[in-house]
Structure 1
């Protein structure tokens, strides 16, 4: 089977890029896989892709528009989209794929119109209202909020035009009311290590893009409220990069926590860091799934998370982790202190997480769901 994935780039260390590398490498063992990007800028992929996978960049570079005024951005965006459609059409007619999957980016407005004989799928790695939530926590102006509402309306109508629309959680599926082509396939867990974490460790770990969505400011505030004796015995490392790095570092200094909290650049082998920690904290304001949470649980960490939309409530069942009402900082502090003071509790929760996550989100199990969808469309 010939399968094509469309994604803006593969040079970032994000969750979408990581998941694509895992799925594409799995499929490339038996299928012909091509990944088409628009803004790779001649950079190497951050994650490793099989040598059997073909990587094609269309050199559209939508990110060139980021610093333009809204009106200039609209003008040049239409030009780039026209070029994108032309180049993508040429490539797809050349490949003659069976399946083309868009990761819900620029090509969604025209991919379904390209008559190359392939079935067209959309795959959403965010929640339906991610733009509205992003606007809320980034203090967007009225124009930005209006554009987001229009794009949400556009998205709903566009998803109907595809053979299949895949979301990551049942919670998100409920928000897309009225769609008959929608299905739920969660992200697979890619870690193969059979080693569980060190429950003696006094390390707490978190990972993700340093931006308002991930709520690391809330995590730092939570840490500042810990009992001082407990706080001094433990250390928090946050792995990630992003626009809020300076703000978060200043927040750490303002609480005099520079000895207890470290911001660390992303690492490719995050598994090693998970296994040297005993607790994972997840304070996102919203998610599409909660990939780092599931990955940490698969390493046997004791995990504590806000019950944000969407994902954590479908990963944590209150026995394999601790779920806290979103933004209830005092409850988070109380439960985190409990975990820190009780190694047997960390081990009990972590071991349940280890087995439940590997059973529910194993690579083989999730990829079989994808293959079932692909095979049904190919009939």
Structure 2
């Protein structure tokens, strides 16, 4: 079976890129797998990709940033999607051409806007799997309306938590679409796990407001005051870096809290610590939580929607604290810092419990899901001529009839010009 992933930008850094690479590499042991990156802005990806997985970009921003079509707004990619400003008539055309010509049996979209392309433009012979790495409640009402109309043409929609899958089933009204929770996977660790003796708390992720690294730093201040031999290491980069550096200075933590910059892969850094931590207000899954646990670290996390509560067993392999509660976060960290035996025991349990996120069980679930979609009754639905089908689908999303952009007919892509109303 050939499986193709449609990814926003495989050359960047982020949780969706990490989990796509992980799943693609695991599937490549038994299938032909490719990653199609809509955008490219550098020569090589930040993350190492197994040579068994092919990678190809559609738009190379190093050479095509000023392409006339790239200076015009996208017509298929939904305007309410977060990444809309990075898409254009050029990306519309290239994605349409790719989908029209693909020889993949299964195409997996990895963000809402790309799932819309997949739903509207992929031929019916392809199993269309849309992945949601955020949550339904995280999408604006306008985007939810656009997705509800387009997602009805998907075969499968996956979320990363059971809670979000339930929300989609309850709120989105997608008859005939299989909705299933498929957690992110983390590769089997290559290094010996942490032994719980290092006096280091480790956090990792984008330095953005929703991750609340400011709260984590503030919560660590009492830890450093009581145990000055303990350190906090925060890995990542982002818009909050300068503000967090000033906060560390203002709290007098320059000898205890460190912004380490980005690290890829993170495994070598996790195993240098004894406790993982995240203070996020919102976490659709919690990739770094699983990474830390697989390396033998108990994780102290806010119990934010949706992921942490489905990953951490509070008091057994980590701690869950209320969102935004600095004192509770500080107390949970101190609890593990002060109790060596409990910290090490919870670390061993974390490593054991996190095995459910290893590639083998996740890939087996993905294969069962794809097989069910391939052989299910939905595959026998009537096949309409491509231009008419896509035109009607686009009109249902708010396009004028003359705006049925980029349809496939007789094996070739035809660009239909017009304006959004």
Could you tell me the TM-score, scaled by structure 1's length? 0.87
How far residue 60 of structure 1 moved from its aligned partner, in angstroms, is: 7.0
CA distances 1:224-250 after superposition (whole Å, capped 9, x unpaired): 2436232x1210000001111111111
Unaligned runs of 5+ in 1: 66-72, 132-147
Aligned match of 1:114? 121
Change (3 A) 1:42 1:263: closer
Partner Cα distance (1:51, 1:351) in 2: 33
CA distances 1:253-272 after superposition (whole Å, capped 9, x unpaired): 11111111100111123111
Q: Say whether residues 1:31 and 2:28 are aligned partners.
A: no
Partner Cα distance (2:60, 2:220) in 1: 43
**Equivalent pairs, count:** 353
Q: Say whether residues 1:130 and 2:138 are aligned partners.
A: yes
Change (3 A) 1:348 1:239: same
CA distances 1:52-101 after superposition (whole Å, capped 9, x unpaired): 3222211175xx99xxxxxxx99623395443333223223333211111
Partner Cα distance (1:194, 1:76) in 2: 46
Q: Say whether residues 1:287 and 2:283 are aligned partners.
A: yes
How far residue 194 of structure 1 moved from its aligned partner, in angstroms, is: 6.4
Mapped contact 1:119–1:163 kept (Cα < 8 A):
yes
Change (3 A) 1:378 1:276: same
Mapped contact 1:7–1:105 kept (Cα < 8 A):
no
Higher CA-based Rg = 2
Change (3 A) 1:76 1:82: closer
Aligned match of 1:140? none
Partner Cα distance (2:122, 2:270) in 1: 46
Aligned match of 2:80? none
Q: Secondary structure at the match of 2:299?
A: strand
Partner Cα distance (1:188, 1:378) in 2: 23
Q: Say whether residues 1:272 and 2:264 are aligned partners.
A: no
Aligned match of 1:138? none
Among candidates 211, 215, 221, match of residue 212 of structure 2:
215
Among candidates 221, 230, 236, match of residue 232 of structure 2:
236
Q: Secondary structure at the match of 1:51?
A: coil
Partner Cα distance (1:197, 1:373) in 2: 34
List structure 1 segments (4+ residues) > 6 angstroms apart after TM superposition.
Answer: none
Aligned match of 2:99? 92
How far residue 115 of structure 1 moved from its aligned partner, in angstroms, is: 4.5
Could you tell me the TM-score, scaled by structure 2's length? 0.79
Superposition RMSD in Å: 2.3
Partner Cα distance (2:366, 2:185) in 1: 11
Q: Say whether residues 1:195 and 2:201 are aligned partners.
A: no
Mapped contact 1:168–1:186 kept (Cα < 8 A):
yes
Partner Cα distance (2:96, 2:71) in 1: 22
Partner Cα distance (2:112, 2:147) in 1: 10
Change (3 A) 1:156 1:60: farther
CA distances 1:89-140 after superposition (whole Å, capped 9, x unpaired): 3223333211111102433333222243211111111122235xxxxxxxxx
How far residue 31 of structure 1 moved from its aligned partner, in angstroms, is: 1.5
Aligned match of 2:142? 150
Partner Cα distance (1:14, 1:361) in 2: 18
Mapped contact 2:112–2:132 kept (Cα < 8 A):
no
Aligned match of 2:392? none
How far residue 297 of structure 1 moved from its aligned partner, in angstroms, is: 0.8
